[in-house]
A and B are shown apart, each in its own frame.
Chain A
Amino acid sequence: MLAHFILALRTAGIPASLTEYLTLLRGMKEGVADYNVDDFYHLSRATLVKDERHLDRFDRVFGEIFKGLEPPAGDPGTEVRIPEEWLRKLAEKLLTEEERKQIEALGGFDKLMETLKQRLAEQKGRHQGGSKWIGTAGTSPFGAYGYNPEGVRIGQDESRHRRAVKIWDKREFKDLDDDVEIGTRNIKLALRRLRRFARQGAATELDLPDTIRATASNAGSLDLKLVPERHNTVKVLLFLDIGGSMDDHVRVCAELFSAARAEFKHLEHFYFHNCPYERLWKSNRRRRDSEVSTFEVLRTYGPDYKAIFVGDAAMSPYEIIQPGGSVEHWNEEPGRLWLERMLRHFRRSAWLNPMQERGWQGYHSAQILRQVMENRMFPLTLGGLEAMTRELSR
């Protein structure tokens, strides 16, 4: 049973190993868990999870494996309302970008969620009367958009309604999971990840105290010691897509920007719209005055700058591959050519996409850009940022 549990954890991406498994068994033997399900949950969590980002996944697997171990019905438990955030998150996972747009057109997401919530409340009342779930009636507006109520776990909510809630089912660590988009807490972590990558720009310098120490232990004959320099020598150029479809992602981009600003001494940023062309600009408010030619940017910043493009890559494919395809001006040369020029110039580059990774499939333009970037397109999540920093510091 426990081995099965470990395997399930590993499948879910929690790196639990044999060592930890044995530790857990020893812990049980020593009686730390006291034959109590909650304590066993706490003990196995302390033993098997080593990173708060995995706590949510752990809770999910635990719930899955130990279904039916919950205390018998009748226990006084907390009732769970469906938090709005939760519904929204799940719906976002289930719906594609286009479907979301469609919903937007139909009076907005909030209204739809409001209706769904109402419907749910009704459902609880009516269920005792013996009527059916949402969706089977065929008239629900949610069905029309491929919105499967099972996905929102309406069923589970109902069953929990009468039972004590299991701790692992509350899933309080949800916002610490590393696949979710960056939030206020998570951006701090991301920032730290950038710092680590910033420290790797290493040179060597004389370590005076260590030289003295080594010379002394060497009985007086000189022994030079060198250490890697701690200076933050990494230079970063940020190219930010602005306006249009990027409006949805303004907050996360601003967070990334301010994080990067605090981290890098050599940080320059430029804006573009959808795809970089022959002109970029430094300030969005004074766009006309602050425009610079892309050639000038390439001349000014050496190949040792790491170029990071931030954009959702959602546009018409013509904006990338056709001369004159830009939505706001006549461009002599296609965006693709400009992008390739920049990629040739900068030795290290990557593209950060604030859109969820599964959403990329829906855009031909995202596919093209990914190809141009030679697959160096990463989602703007903690996992994605880490992959990017690894790629950039290779």
Chain B
Amino acid sequence: MSRFQTTSTYIASRDLEVAVNAAVALQRPLLVKGEPGTGKTVLAQEVARALGMPLIEWHIKSTTKAQQGLYEYDAVARLRDGQLGDARVHDIGNYIVRGKLWDAFAADAPVVLLIDEIDKADIEFPNDLLLELDRMQFFVYETRETVKAKHRPVVIITSNNEKELPDAFLRRCFFHYIRFPDRATMEQIVQSHFPDIKQELAREALNVFFEVRNVSELKKKPATSELLDWLKLLMIEDLPPEVLRSQDPKTAIPPLYGALLKNEQDVHLFERLAFLSRQRQR
């Protein structure tokens, strides 16, 4: 069986590789948590690529119900058809709309199923999927048929920790917490995304980035995805690396900071810090 490891586009730490391979080998869901912007969702895409499987994505919202992942019975359509005298109305199966989980179960080859941001949904949502994820089968009441997975899909679940997940659900998962990458890993990540970035620019940008992250009062610390966006901008604008050296007090706020700081309070905080450092230099 093919194994998941660091690729040219996704730098995975050893513990992440082990966790993914364990989940694939034992056919159990992998729950991934971590700071926003550390590559939880991208992980599923990379796993699918590494294993050569198609990816089915199920993005969860606060209104998503577990049932929607299995199937939905479109009663309104049936009512309308009934009033119009459509012959389709006699077969209830015509009004069963398949969900993502059904798609994953019915696929002819094993797939990777991403359940993205499971914590956004109602507290009971994970509980409603317990049996389905455990046995990889479910029962359709309307048509009295049991849908069984032809191949157990590789299930990757991400969570941003907005709600706590039930114990019974956690028991069935492998768990991995994506830590914020350290500087060396970050350099690798930058290299893998922008192979032709100027070394000096990358170094200076990382200096600024980690400095910004070190400001402890920030409401939202920039993460990997913000760094990559910012680097892309810097490369498009073709800024010389010297600009990033914050020796000049006038440029204490990093250029194009909009990509890094996502909150006007954070921007204010930075302006204040810049002001203070200017005062100090006088």
Interface residues of A (CB under 8 A from B): 15, 17, 19-20, 23, 26-27, 30-33, 38-39, 42-43, 45-47, 49-52, 55, 172-173, 176, 184, 189, 192-193, 195-196, 212-213, 216-217, 219-220
Contact = CB atoms under 8 A, between A and B. Distances in A.
B18 A32 contact: yes
B176 A46 contact: yes
B73 A196 contact: no
B31 A50 contact: yes
Interface in B26-41: 26, 28, 30-31, 33
Contact of B75 (A39, A51, A213): A213
A50 B173 contact: yes
Contacts of B167: 15, 50
Contacts of B191: none
Nearest to B13: A42
Interface string B208-234: 000000001100000000000000000
B179 A217 contact: no
Contacts of A31: 25
B175 interface: yes
A190 to B, nearest CB: 11
Contacts of A193: 164
B148 interface: no
A23 B173 CA distance: 10
B171 A216 contact: no
A55 B178 CA distance: 12
Contacts of A195: 162
Contact of B171 (A17, A51, A55): A17
B78 A216 contact: yes
Contacts of B177: 52, 55, 173, 176
Nearest to A26: B26
Contact of A217 (B75, B123, B217): B75
Contacts, number: 84
A51 B31 CA distance: 10
A32 B22 contact: yes
B14 A42 contact: yes
A52 B33 contact: yes
Interface in B1-60: 14-15, 18-19, 21-23, 25-26, 28, 30-31, 33
Name the residue in A26, A46, A47, A195 with the highest tally of chain B Cβ atoms < 10 Å from its Cβ: A46
Contacts of B216: 184
B22 A46 contact: yes
B174 interface: yes
Nearest to A32: B22
B217 A184 contact: yes
A27 B26 contact: yes
Given A19-B171, A33-B18, A192 B25 contact: no
B192 interface: no
A184 B216 CA distance: 7
B161 interface: yes
A217 to B, nearest CB: 4
Contacts of B165: 50
A80 to B, nearest CB: 15
A65 B14 CA distance: 22
